């Protein structure tokens, strides 16, 4: 059961941050097991999950550091930022406050993370459409304004776009480290949320920012 | 030892008529479908020993004469804990061990009055503790009202209530008292909310920290609401238990992780080295283990047995449990080649290791003394304070590591010789008297050894004696002076004194002049040592 299959071509560390109860642990679990656990315990400190993806014949090991959302743990979780290659900042689309704290998370990441840490915004609980308080465009705008990789909406409950979000991270990190991997544009445009298409990057330009094609 | 097989609790099911489809095991955990069982990481096959009716009666009688400050009482209760506390009496035992009644009597804090105070502004906002989860969103809306002065709920309180409310269903989400929105669970969540908010009022400097909800929830499973509150106060405020662990700086938990790191380094140098090589940080798993007191273990009978011991011995038992777990996983970890393989087994301790019949006997056979923790503690503080000293400490530690390599499996083996020193075979090294005897033996051993060189010491009888061999190692590692019995006197002294930081001054102070005579005259030194220790205690 434990990932003793230590053969891999690339190893990426992803830090998963965001306010309390936005579904960080469920996201990781969905990524790891494709299952949703209705009754999830809150995370104390930092949890850890690993899954190896196969991308264009390369074995990419994704180590996900799932952090506690409470402010009090910030000093400790911050020490995990430095070694992260990628960061996913999660918020809950049905709770405005969790979106409003994104700039604080981004700032913190800039402060404690590596300079080139690849960052994506993850709007979770998309299944709660009826209770939506944050429009996807807002997330796109924020991602663009802050120069982040992408904004994605997911539903850990329905395993919707979760895998894709992680694969997108893996792919992007792979591109940075291995030039022979092409930016799979078709994949990128498949990341749809709420009928909006997120284009990760314009195929030709090296521009990191993704326009939000609405 | 009788092995139990879980069954849905038939006796209590009448109270939960509406949960038609959900069954619960004897400790109240939902019997989940196979598909999600692995996700929930919970075992329902319990292996704790069936309580012996005679012993149960004895224990009940004993509790009526309980005196928390009596050594004899504490000795006696340890015997009972070792046999196994029957679930039905656990509440009484915990109340005794935590001295809840006297704590409540001595405090001017009024739990009921505090509840009234907390409830008032919530009621004004149309929120009750019974609907806190569903009304959390309206609480968010009221934030604006609060800032515009329309409510008398301070916004700090609102943040606090929100965080607590978020965690109510996320602490043991499959336990009958907290699961979903059954009437029993609504009541359970409300109780948990009240206890946690009351604690935050009682100690506003700590407030609420994630992890606490697990501790409070366990207490609520065993004790009445107000008792659970005072038990939480005892656990989170008494230095013997978890005081400062939840402080806003979170410094203490980081310190404890370093202390555990040192403990492991001295007890299991190879394992320690392996973890170092793989880059596994002890803070990572210590945080979860210590802040939730091992409630993440999948086997609940084990968790409760661990808690019994923690109630008796405090933080020391927390270290002891941590060490036991990691030792049980040692062979597995040694075969792992990356951090990514190690962390999952430490964060989600496998069922086979967590089972009562495996973990609890191993726990009793793994000895960690309070002074040992103190010793590691000062070592960590020493390392943190001085760069120059650090080199010295490292050298000493390295010496220690090599010297303990030969000891193999000693930690999990019962202390054979230890039993000789005490009449109570069940609890080697745990009674105060026993500690003295050991200290003296060690002192004697070292005095005898002082003339010989270090290689001779390695092949000394200490090697065969787990209880003895451990003590000198810890001592060597601390880079204290090479004095012999003096060390232990100092340790005992510091244990009694409230400030560990004053250790250096004690060390270099009063006791120094006695050293030469001790070195030259072993017998006299031992006598003095006895006297000294007896005086101190």
* CA of residue B82 relative to chain centroid, distance: 16
Task: Name the residue with higher pLDDT: B385 or B241.
Answer: B241
CA contacts within 13 A on the Cβ side of A176: 15
Lowest mean pLDDT across B90-94, B133-137, B334-338, B393-397:
B393-397
Whether A45 and B39 lie within 8 Å, measured CB to CB? no
Distance (Å) from the alpha carbon of B253 to chain A's nearest alpha carbon: 10
Q: Specify the pLDDT at position B198.
A: 97
In this complex, which of B174, B254, B340 lies closest to A50 when CB atoms are compared?
Answer: B340
Residue A59 lies in a domain: yes
Q: CB distance from A45 to chain B under 8 Å?
A: yes
pLDDT band at B435 (very low <50, low <70, confident <90, very high): very low
Q: Specify the pLDDT at position B127.
A: 82
Q: Which domain holds residue A183?
A: 3-202
Task: Name the residue with higher pLDDT: B436 or B463.
Answer: B436
Q: What is the mean pLDDT of chain A?
A: 84
Q: Which residue of A has its CA nearest to B246?
A: A72
Residue A208 lies in a domain: no
* CA of residue B121 relative to chain centroid, distance: 37
Whether A63 and B340 lie within 8 Å, measured CB to CB? yes
Q: CB distance from B344 to chain A under 8 Å?
A: yes
Residue A28 pLDDT > 50: yes
Whether A42 and B167 lie within 8 Å, measured CB to CB? yes
Buried b (16+ CB within 10 A) or exposed e, B78-103: bbbbbbbbbbeebbbbbbbbbbbeeb
Domain count, chain A: 1
Q: Which residue of A has its CA nearest to B178?
A: A39
Which of B338, B349, B351 should one mutate to test binding to chain A, selecting the residue with the greatest count of A CBs within 10 A?
A: B338
Whether B249 and A97 lie within 8 Å, measured CB to CB? no
Task: Name the residue with higher pLDDT: B489 or B70.
Answer: B70
Task: Name the residue with higher pLDDT: B138 or A13.
Answer: A13
Residue A211 lies in a domain: no
Tokens of B50: 């069936």
Residue B218 pLDDT > 60: yes
What would the DSSP string read from start to end of B40-91? Answer: HT------PPPPPHHHHHHHHHHHHT--TT-HHHHHHHHHHHHH---GGGHH
Q: How far apart are CA A131 and CA A129, in angstroms?
A: 5
Decide the pairing of beta strands A10-18 and A196-198: unpaired
Query: Which stretch, A177-181, B176-180, B329-333, has highest mean pLDDT?
Result: B329-333
Residue A72 lies in a domain: yes
Q: CB distance from B33 to chain A under 8 Å?
A: no
Residue B51 pLDDT > 60: yes
Lowest mean pLDDT across B158-167, B192-201, B216-225, B275-284:
B158-167
What is the percent of chain B where pLDDT is above 90? 54
pLDDT band at B386 (very low <50, low <70, confident <90, very high): confident
Which of A44, A49, A70, A74 should one mutate to test binding to chain B, selecting the residue with the greatest count of B CBs within 10 A?
A: A44
List of chain B residues whose C-beta atoms are within 8 Å of the C-beta of residue A41 = 170-173, 296
* CA of residue B59 relative to chain centroid, distance: 23
Chain segment B292-303, per-residue pLDDT in tens: 999 999 999 999
Q: Is B423 exposed, middle or buried (0-12, 13-18, 19+ CB in 10 A)?
A: exposed
Residue A120 pLDDT > 60: yes
Taking residues A53-77, what's their average pLDDT? 93
Bridge partners, residue A64, by sequence: A14, A49
Distance (Å) from the alpha carbon of A180 to chain B's nearest alpha carbon: 27
Q: Specify the pLDDT at position A5.
A: 56
Taking residues B151-157, what's their average pLDDT? 77
Q: Specify the pLDDT at position A126.
A: 96
Q: CB distance from B31 to chain A under 8 Å?
A: no
Query: Which stretch, A55-59, A69-73, B233-237, has highest mean pLDDT?
Result: B233-237
Q: Specify the pLDDT at position B411.
A: 39
Q: Specify the pLDDT at position B404.
A: 38
Residue A104 lies in a domain: yes
Q: How far apart are CA B30 and CA B327, in angstroms?
A: 30
Q: CB distance from B82 to chain A under 8 Å?
A: no
Residue A214 lies in a domain: no
Whether B341 and A6 lie within 8 Å, measured CB to CB? yes
Q: CB distance from B478 to chain A under 8 Å?
A: no
CATH number at residue A105: 3.40.50.300
Residue A65 lies in a domain: yes
Beta strand residue intervals within B394-515, DSSP E: none
Q: Specify the pLDDT at position B142.
A: 54
Tokens of B290: 């210590």
pLDDT band at B201 (very low <50, low <70, confident <90, very high): very high
Residue A209 lies in a domain: no
Whether A46 and B287 lie within 8 Å, measured CB to CB? yes
Q: CB distance from B250 to chain A under 8 Å?
A: yes
Q: Specify the pLDDT at position A41.
A: 92
Residue B440 pLDDT > 60: no
List of chain A residues whose C-beta atoms are within 8 Å of the C-beta of residue B209 = 70, 72
């Amino acid at each position: 059961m434990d990932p003793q299959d230590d053969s891999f071509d690339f190893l990426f560390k992803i830090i998963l941050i965001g306010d309390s109860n936005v579904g960080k642990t469920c996201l990781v679990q969905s990524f790891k097991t494709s299952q949703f656990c209705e009754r999830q315990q809150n995370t104390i400190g930092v949890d850890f999950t690993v899954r190896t993806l196969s991308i264009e014949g390369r074995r990419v090991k994704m180590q996900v550091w799932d952090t506690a959302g409470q402010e009090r743990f910030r000093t400790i979780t911050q020490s995990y930022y430095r070694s992260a290659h990628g960061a996913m900042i999660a918020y809950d689309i049905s709770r405005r406050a969790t979106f409003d704290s994104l700039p604080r998370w981004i700032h913190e990441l800039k402060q404690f993370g590596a300079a080139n840490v690849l960052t994506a915004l993850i709007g979770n609980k998309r299944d709660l459409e009826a209770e939506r308080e944050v429009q996807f465009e807002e997330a796109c705008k924020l991602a663009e304004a802050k120069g982040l990789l992408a904004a994605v909406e997911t539903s850990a409950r329905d395993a919707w776009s979760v895998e894709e979000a992680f694969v997108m991270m893996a792919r992007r990190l792979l591109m940075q480290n291995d030039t022979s991997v092409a930016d799979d544009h078709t994949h990128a445009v498949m990341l749809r949320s709420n009928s909006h298409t997120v284009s990760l990057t314009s195929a030709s330009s090296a521009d990191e920012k993704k326009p939000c094609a609405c | 030892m009788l092995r139990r097989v879980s069954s849905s609790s038939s006796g209590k099911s009448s109270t939960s008529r509406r949960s038609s489809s959900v069954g619960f095991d004897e400790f109240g955990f939902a019997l989940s479908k196979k598909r999600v069982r692995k996700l929930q990481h919970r075992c329902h096959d319990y292996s704790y020993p069936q309580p012996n009716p005679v012993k149960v009666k004895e224990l009940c009688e004993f509790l009526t004469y309980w005196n928390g400050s009596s050594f004899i009482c504490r000795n006696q209760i340890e015997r009972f804990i070792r046999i196994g506390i029957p679930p039905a009496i656990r509440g009484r035992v915990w109340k005794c061990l935590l001295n809840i009644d006297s704590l409540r009597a001595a405090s001017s804090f009024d739990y009921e009055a505090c509840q009234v105070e907390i409830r008032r502004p919530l009621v004004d906002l149309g929120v009750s503790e019974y609907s806190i989860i569903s009304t959390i969103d309206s609480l968010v809306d009221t934030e604006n009202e609060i800032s515009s002065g329309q409510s008398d709920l301070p916004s700090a309180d609102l943040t606090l209530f929100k965080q607590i409310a978020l965690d109510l269903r996320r602490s043991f989400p499959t336990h009958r008292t907290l699961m979903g929105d059954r009437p029993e669970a609504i009541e359970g969540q409300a109780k948990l909310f009240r206890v946690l908010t009351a604690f935050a009022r009682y100690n506003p400097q700590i407030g609420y920290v994630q992890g606490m909800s697990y501790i409070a929830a366990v207490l609520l499973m065993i004790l009445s609401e107000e008792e659970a509150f005072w038990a939480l106060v005892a656990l989170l405020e008494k230095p013997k238990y978890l005081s400062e662990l939840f402080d806003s700086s979170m410094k203490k938990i980081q310190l404890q992780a370093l202390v555990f790191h040192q403990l492991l380094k001295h007890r299991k140098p190879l394992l320690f080295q392996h973890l170092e090589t793989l880059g596994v940080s002890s803070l990572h798993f210590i945080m979860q283990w210590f802040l939730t007191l091992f409630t993440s273990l999948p086997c609940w009978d084990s968790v409760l047995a661990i808690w019994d011991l923690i109630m008796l011995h405090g933080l020391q038992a927390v270290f002891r449990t941590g060490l036991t777990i990691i030792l049980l996983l040692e062979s597995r970890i040694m075969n792992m080649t990356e951090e990514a393989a190690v962390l999952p087994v430490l964060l989600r301790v496998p069922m086979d290791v967590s089972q009562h019949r495996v973990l609890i006997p191993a726990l009793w056979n793994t000895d960690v003394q309070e002074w040992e923790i103190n010793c590691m503690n000062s070592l960590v503080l020493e390392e943190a304070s001085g760069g120059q000293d650090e080199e010295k400490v490292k050298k000493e530690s390295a010496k220690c590591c090599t010297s303990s390599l030969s000891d193999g499996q000693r930690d999990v083996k019962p202390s054979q010789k230890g039993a000789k020193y005490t009449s109570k075979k069940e609890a080697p090294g745990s009674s105060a008297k026993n500690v003295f005897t050991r200290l003296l033996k060690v002192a004697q051993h070292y005095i005898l050894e002082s003339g010989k060189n270090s290689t001779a010491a390695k092949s000394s009888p200490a090697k065969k004696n787990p209880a003895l061999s451990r003590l000198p190692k810890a001592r060597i590692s601390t880079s204290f002076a090479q004095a012999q019995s003096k060390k232990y006197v100092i340790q005992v002294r510091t244990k009694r004194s409230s400030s560990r930081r004053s250790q250096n001054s004690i060390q270099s102070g009063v006791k120094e002049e006695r050293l030469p005579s001790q070195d030259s005259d072993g017998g006299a030194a031992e006598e003095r040592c006895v006297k000294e220790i007896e005086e101190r205690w």
